[in-house]
Structure 1
Amino acid sequence: MMSLNRRVLLSAALVLLVFIAGITLTLDRAFYDSARIGVKDRLFARLLMLLGDTEVDESGELEIPTNLLDAEFGHVNSDIYAFVTGPANTILWRSTSSLNKPIPDITLLEKGKQEFEQITLDDEPYFIYRYSVAWETSSGDYPLIFNVMTATALLEAQIERYREDLWGWLGLMVVFLLATQMLVLRWGLLPLRTVSTELSAIESGRQENLKGRYPKELKLLTDSINSLITHEHKQQKRYRNGLADLAHSLKTPLAVLQGAIHGKNDEVARFETIQEQIDRMDNTIQYQLRRAA
């Protein structure tokens, strides 16, 4: 059977691993949600900047001064890009950073509605933030949909680094906690090992009973063991005394029998003597047996 120390250690290790795994999954999900919200806020902030730089003339033509745009929209290799679509889903304007990027098919949105989602283009995941407005001019309202997009590669790289750091630190924490648990269990189970050592000493005759100081959880057990040992010693002493008394009581009848066998009395007297001593020995044995019981 598995030792108590190993059983407790394995149980504690299993509980610790399950707890750490639960914490890891919770932290990982919380970080992912937080990072996703960060991307959403970033796209929305860029969309507001784009709205602030946009003008629509009386004919419905879009005017977005290039020198006023956010710097991220002005570089071809930027990870964020934007475009504006009109009523027929036609692209009215697109940023310089979108020239080498895919443009999705945009569905219509109700006026004032905002939408943030993850889409897939050319087998690559992207985040897109859409905002539908009706631009008011003196000649009428022009429905426009402002779209800001970014690839998920940056977010995925950030999450990957976070997971590496998270698992690394949690791995060190698991090793530290397991080592601490081993020391705590060794200290906590020390009284049991002391009991085992003292019992071995009693068995080998080096001591008569348990003499150590034990916690209250083991006090009843050690007191019961000492009581059992004391009772056993008294019982053995009674047995020795009983055997000594029996041997002493049988010496006289045996001596009489020995004399009767070699005596010169007639057969009748010899038989009576032998029978008398046999009865005496039987009574003595029965008495000692009752006394021992």
Structure 2
Amino acid sequence: MKRLTGSLKSRAIIALSILLGFSFSLILLSVLESFDETIDQATREQMASNANALMAAAAKEVDGQLLMPERTGVKRFDKPNSDLLRGYIFSANGKLLWQSISSNGKPIDYQPVFDLDHRVELTTIEMDGKTYLVYEVDTLLGSSSSGYCFVTLVPANKYLSIVEIFTNHLRMWVSIAVLLVVAVCWMVLWWSLKPFREVEEQISEIESGHRDSIEGSFPSEVKRLTDSINTLIISEQQQRQKYRTTMDDLAHSLKTPLAVLQSFSSSLKIQSKAPNEAEIVNLCKNINSQVQRMNQIIGYHLHRSVTGHHGLLRQSVQVEPVVNELKTTLEKVYSGKQINFITALDPSCIFHGDEDDLLEMLGNLLTNAFKFCNNTVSLTGYVESKQHNQPARLTLLIDDDGSGIDQEDREQVFHRGIRADCEKPGQGIGLAVVKDLVEGYQGHIIIEDSSLGGARIKLILPTKA
């Protein structure tokens, strides 16, 4: 049963079949009943005509005795051994007084009941293995007549066969009509449900990875469904991309702390050979600091994945302490390069936003500068005063003396996964993260040529100053 009702088409066909079956059954019964009434009325009229012919042939009643001519004048009554029409006359007390020549003297298995209140009676009897229609008329031939029962008898097969033939034909045509209506309705349903089949096929293609969305022209009722499904698909894709981006950003942000921990691990191995208590305490302190930093990074990225880039409430963050914290970490990671890190930050350099966002932006930019420089990195910061319709802006310049970034690559490197230098390790995520954060603060990031010979990253952020 579940398989039969598993689709809208099956349900509609089943419901329609039940409805049509019930409706046409009522129609069939009504037509048959009406036809039976018509046949009954026609039969009564025919039998009444026969009875009237028999009564007309009755001559008269003399001294209470019925006088009948030898022949009635009606051929069917006067034809010997004719089974088409028989006539009988009974007295009021049920005594057979006369019977037609056509009856051939055969008795009739019928007992009339004289009743002037119900003077006409039509019934059936079984005789000699056949069914007959019996029509009885009770009447008086005169004022002093004791009354007589005029009975006519005809075979019922003629009328029954008419009813049977009509019934069979009616059932056949009703059945054909039902089948035709069901077939037409099935075709209408097939055509009406075609958009749903197309949607089902496209959803299967989406599930198998061969299609990204539902496309095509659909009726208005289905269009709302397909639009909702497409919106759901896009939302799911965006959510997946958001999780993927969050994981990439998290992995990228953890690279530097992990590199520092790896450096501390090497130092601990050295200390295990010649222990220095003060040095070990310092290493433990630094390791704990990096672990806390990693927890902070994880919490930061989880928070961003849930609430977005930043909230409405913004802090006033001094840039210099953040730079000093990053400087300490990066000098440990890149201690082998002996990098000269020059800072020139104006005391008015204050970032209005989330401190973790500033740490993420500067961390990615300074990590790139340390990675690609030869031996010099410079960070300059100042606040441009308000001019005309332009608000005051915090400007940070990060320069290095590396090979720089080619002009044609400067837009591409801000795209996730794109790298200008494939020789050094990396995933091409850092600049994309920075650009995303900067634009979230309605700021700008620009790549220029540095006076040191490498690249300059210019960071421009709004400020309240």
How would you bin the TM-score normalised by the shorter chain?
0.7 to 0.9
Aligned length: 290
Q: What does residue 270 of structure 1 align with?
A: 283
Residue of 59, 63, 70 corresponding to 2:68:
63
Unmatched tracts of structure 1, length 5 or more: none
The equivalent residue for 1:175 is: 179
Q: Per-residue deviation at 1:43?
A: 0.4
Counterpart of 2:101 (choices 96, 99, 103) is: 96
- In structure 1, give the amino acid aligned to 2:190: R
Partner of 1:196: 200
Larger mean CA deviation between 148-157 and 57-66 belongs to 57-66
2:133 and 2:155 in contact (8 A); partners too: yes
Give me the CA root mean square deviation.
2.6
> Deviation of residue 235 (structure 1)?
0.9
2:52 is matched with which residue? 48
- CA offsets, 1:194-235, max 9 Å, x none? 111111121122322222333344344323222211111111
Counterpart Cα distance in 2 of 1:25 and 1:275: 93
Single out whichever of 213-222 and 180-189 deviates more from structure 2: 213-222
Match of 1:253 in 2: 257
Q: Find 2:213's aligned residue among 209, 213, 230.
A: 209
CA separation of 1:169/1:29 partners in 2, compared to 1, >3 Å: closer, same or farther? Answer: same
Higher helix share: 1
**1:115–1:129 contact (8 Å) kept in structure 2:** yes
For normalisation by structure 1, the TM-score amounts to: 0.86
Give 1:261 shift: 2.8
Q: CA deviation at 1:127?
A: 2.1
Post-superposition Cα deviations, 1:244-293, rounded to whole Å, max 9, x if no partner, equal 21122111112222223334793233222222111111100111122223
> Quick check: 1:110 aligned with 2:116?
yes
1:131 to 137, 140, 145: 137
2:92/2:113 contact within 8 Å kept: no
- Aligned equivalent of 1:145: 149
Computing the radius of gyration from Cα coordinates, the structure with the larger value is 2
1:112 Cα deviation after fit: 8.1
Q: 2:82 aligns with which of 64, 77, 80?
A: 77
Are 2:32 and 1:33 aligned? no
Aligned-partner residue type, residue 268 of structure 1: V
Deviations 1:78-131 (A, max 9, x none): 322112223443333322222265422222222782222234446644322222
C-alpha separation between the residues in 1 aligned to 2:107 and 2:162? Answer: 23
Whether the 8 Å contact between 1:102 and 1:121 is mirrored in structure 2 is no
Partner amino acid, structure 2, of 1:247: A
2:237 counterpart of 1:224? no
1:149 CA drift (Å): 1.7
* Partner amino acid, structure 2, of 1:36: D
- Give the % identical residues: 27
1:170-205 per-residue CA deviation (whole Å, 9 max, x = no partner) reads 332233233223212211221221111111121122
Please identify, of 261-270 and 32-41, the stretch whose mean Cα deviation from structure 2 is larger.
261-270
Structure 2: segments with no counterpart, 5+ residues: 272-278, 307-465
What is the distance in 2 between the residues matched to 1:62 and 1:12?
68
> Is contact 1:50-1:69 (8 Å) kept?
no
Q: CA contact under 8 A between 1:111 and 1:134: conserved in structure 2?
A: no
Name the CA shift for 1:280/1:55 in 2 (closer, same or farther; >3 Å).
Answer: same
Alignment partners' CA distance in 2, 1:129 and 1:32: 17
Give the corresponding residue for 1:244. Answer: 248
1:24 and 2:37 equivalent?
no
Choose from 274, 285, 288 the match for 2:301: 288
Helix, strand or coil for the counterpart of 2:141? strand
Question: Is 1:157 matched with 2:161?
Answer: yes
Amino acid at match of 1:96: I
d(CA) in 2 for partners of 1:111, 1:273: 126
**SS of equivalent residue, structure 1 residue 136:** coil
| Equivalent residue letter for 1:182 | W
Which has the bigger relative contact order, CA under 8 A and spacing at least 6?
A: 1
User: Bigger CA drift: 242-251 or 162-171?
Assistant: 162-171
